[in-house]
Amino acid sequence: MNSQALITEQAVYNATLIHRTDVTPELSVVRFRPDSGLIPEFLPGQFIKLGLPREEGVEPVQAGPGRPRSGPRLIRRAYSIASSPRQRDCVEIFVVRVEGGKLTPKLWVLDLGGRAWMDDKISGRFTLDPVPPHKDVVMVATGTGIAPFVSMLRTYHDQPRWRRAVLINGVRYAPDLGYREELEALARANPRVRYIPIVSRDPGDGAWTGLRGRVQVVLDPAVYESQVGAALDPDDCHVMLCGNPEMIDSVQAMLAQRGFRPHSSDQPGNIHFERYW
Ligand SMILES: Cc1cc2nc3c(=O)[nH]c(=O)nc-3n(C[C@H](O)[C@H](O)[C@H](O)COP(=O)(O)OP(=O)(O)OC[C@H]3O[C@@H](n4cnc5c(N)ncnc54)[C@H](O)[C@@H]3O)c2cc1C
Ligand SMILES: NC(=O)c1ccc[n+]([C@@H]2O[C@H](COP(=O)([O-])OP(=O)(O)OC[C@H]3O[C@@H](n4cnc5c(N)ncnc54)[C@H](OP(=O)(O)O)[C@@H]3O)[C@@H](O)[C@H]2O)c1
């Protein structure tokens, strides 16, 4: 490698893959450590952008007018941070491998110690800021959309940040339930935390004995009340939706009929959402 390429690589790659746990062959929990040793301060629920080179090797390009920085062209994608802001030496994310996707198949072949680009800022408004601490927080996730809620629960499970936290995670198959053991343990230890997994494509082999269907099943008033021991009432609850955009649209429409309203900066409401695509 010539010295120009070396400078380029140092300028662009600023993080290292330090951990990978494969939940299934298609779902992984990974951690990246920034070269600086410290990620920026953030709030649970926010996301960071990560990047990998578009092509193999280092391809020098012009980054923009007046910024004669060069480096490989990157594919950048946003990822909700699953780790708690109490831990600043790395970011943990929960990723699904999207067949035919541009970035995730490259992440799947990145070895431990592999280099990546990590944004030096963390963004996003999908936080608990608009949720008063005397309300129930109803967290609804499909697939990897559970990540921001894991960060919230890791951060606030032992604090009076909510009256009750109810986490509903809908996945295709039971093994897709990322963080299941951690969340079950957290809910066992804390009566103000409920964890309700639901599986939509259970093969019916008897291994899964929990709820079946999509997350909407749990949001049915009678099912919710039997699972949680309280009503899903717009006066008492804020609902946070994360993951599949069709789920978000569908649940939002369902809750609107029951008196919930989407939150925006000019119109406070009790539905908050983060679309992954
Ligand atoms: C704010 C934000 C936070 C995000 N956080 C996460 C996260 O924590 N974990 C995560 O896995 N992804 C997350 N995503 C999605 C992520 O940014 C990428 O889109 C995803 O990893 C696919 O990238 P790709 O280049 O491989 O696929 P692309 O070439 O970008 O193909 C995208 C297609 O893949 C599908 N898709 C994208 N993301 C998902 C997903 N998570 N689950 C199911 N199908 C998907 C959609 O059909 C989409 O059109 C987030 C997106 C946003 C906007
Ligand atoms: N998860 C895996 O094991 C796996 C394996 C290989 C490849 N992939 C690929 O990875 C990508 C993401 O898969 P994923 O399973 O993580 O995410 P996903 O497709 O969003 O599915 C996650 C959960 O969301 C449900 N869902 C879908 N639309 C919904 C809606 N409108 N309302 C409520 N719930 C809804 C699904 O139910 P339904 O089952 O009813 O759709 C499933 O229970 C896909 O492109 C997939 O092909 C995933």
Q: Which CATH class is domain 3-123?
A: mainly beta
Q: Residue 16 is encoded by which pair of tokens?
A: 């290292």
Q: What is the pLDDT of residue 200?
A: 98
What pTM did the predictor assign? 0.93
- Separation of CA 106 and ligand 1 centre (Å): 13
Q: What is the pLDDT of residue 114?
A: 95
Assess contact for 87 and 19: CB atoms under 8 A.
no
Kindly give the pairing relationship between strand 164-171 and strand 136-142: parallel
For residue 161, give the DSSP letter.
Answer: S
Best CA proximity match to 218, nearest among 166, 274, 148: 166
Tens digits of residue pLDDT in 179-222: 999 999 999 999 999 999 999 999 989 899 999 999 999 999 99
Q: Which ligand is nearest to the CA of 275?
A: 1
Mean of pLDDT values over 151-166: 97
Average pLDDT, the chain: 92
Q: From CA 171, how far away is CA 146, in angstroms rounded?
A: 10
- Separation of CA 276 and ligand 1 centre (Å): 5
Mean of pLDDT values over 111-117: 95
Q: Which residue has the higher pLDDT, 35 or 3?
A: 35
> What is the Rg, in whole angstroms, of the alpha carbon atoms belonging to the chain?
20
Please say if the pLDDT value at position 171 is more than 70: yes
* CATH code for the part of the protein at 136-275: 3.40.50.80
Tens digits of residue pLDDT in 41-78: 999 999 999 999 887 655 444 444 444 455 668 899 99
The response to whether residue 242 sits with its C-beta less than 6 Å from ligand 1 reads no
Assess contact for 122 and 40: CB atoms under 8 A.
yes
User: Domain locations in the chain?
Assistant: 3-123, 136-275
Beta bridge partners of 243: 275
